[in-house]
Amino acid sequence: AQTVTQSQPEMSVQEAETVTLSCTYDTSESDYYLFWYKQPPSRQMILVIRQEAYKQQNATENRFSVNFQKAAKSFSLKISDSQLGDAAMYFCAYRRGLLYGGATNKLIFGTGTLLAVQP
Amino acid sequence: NAGVTQTPKFQVLKTGQSMTLQCAQDMNHEYMSWYRQDPGMGLRLIHYSVGAGITDQGEVPNGYNVSRSTTEDFPLRLLSAAPSQTSVYFCASSTGQGAGQPQHFGDGTRLSIL
């Protein structure tokens, strides 16, 4: 079975600084996707960034980027120029690809990292 | 755009009562899912559906029933509420066209069982 581990329950960063959130996963599958979701106090689940396992290039979305190390099964999120609005719970999630058949709408989540941004 | 709509947003029940959490999406998505979120445990999959008339169990299905009679709706039923079902419940939907498509989440239902 696939598992996702986020070993940092809480992190803190100063406004305008850079912070990296860690995520590791365990799988024997070769076709999968990885996601980072943000959950602010409003409770909404907001997609931040996604990475396809077959793509070696790290995904980037504005101030958010990932460091995808497939062999190490590591998928960290880097937030540059942190803003007060980045304060939230961040979840790493795994989703299997189509290669193995069956339903692919099942997300496996880590336990989350609560990010505080200090002004 | 309405997206994924969950009702109610908050609910308090007594042990043994039954209720249905509603979920509706207007994006014509094939896939729909229910998750529960508990402190320190992330989100865990309860049930999911890949299309109308097709449902299956996720990681934590006990105590919950689902049905999918239409593409738009995917209600979650608690048959006999227990305090262990106190949680925040999220409904999500996504297109079936590729596993990389993001899931769209509703705003959640906070459920307390006394």
Q: Say if CB B104 and CB B29 are below 8 A apart.
A: yes
Q: Is B50 in contact with A105 (Cβ distance < 8 A)?
A: yes
Q: Residue B70: is its pLDDT beyond 80?
A: yes
Q: What is the pLDDT of residues A50-83, one digit of tens each?
A: 999 988 899 999 999 999 999 999 999 999 999 9
Q: Taking 90 as the threshold, does the pLDDT of residue B33 lie above it?
A: yes
Q: What percent of chain A has pLDDT over 70?
A: 95
Is A111 within 8 Å of B35 when comparing Cβ atoms? no
CA distance A75 to chain B (A): 16
- Mutate one of B37, B46, B107 to test the A interface: name it (highest A CB count within 10 A): B37
Mean pLDDT of B36-52: 91
Residue B112 sits at the vertex; the CA angle it makes with B109 and B113, to the nearest 5 degrees, is 135
CA-to-CA distance for B33 and B56, rounded, in angstroms?
10
- Res. B29: pLDDT tops 70: yes
Contact A103 B56 (CB under 8 A): yes
**pLDDT tens digit string along A88-103?**
999 999 998 877 666 6
- CB-based contact A49:A34 (threshold 8 Å): no
Using a CB-CB cut-off of 8 Å, the residues of chain A touching B41 are: 111
Per the prediction, chain A carries an average pLDDT of 93
pLDDT value, residue A75: 97
> A91 vs B42: CB contact, 8 Å cut-off?
yes
Please list the alpha-helical segments (H only) found in A1-119.
none
Which range, of A98-107, B17-26, B61-70, averages the lowest pLDDT? A98-107
Low-confidence winner among A101-105, B35-39, B63-67, B99-103 (lowest mean pLDDT)? A101-105
- CB contacts < 8 A, A to B, total 69
Select the residue of B35, B41, B94 nearest A111 (Cβ to Cβ).
B41
Tell me if chain A has a CB within 8 Å of the CB of B38.
Answer: no
Q: Which of A43, A98, A108 sits opposite B99 (nearest CB)?
A: A98
Chain A residue nearest residue B36, CA to CA: A109
CB contact under 8 A, A105 and B33: yes
Question: Does the distance separating the beta carbons of B107 and A44 come in below 8 Å?
Answer: yes
Would you call B45 and A91 a contact, using CB atoms and an 8 Å cutoff? no
b/e map B46-67, b = 16+ CB within 10 Å: bbbbbebeebeebebbeebebb
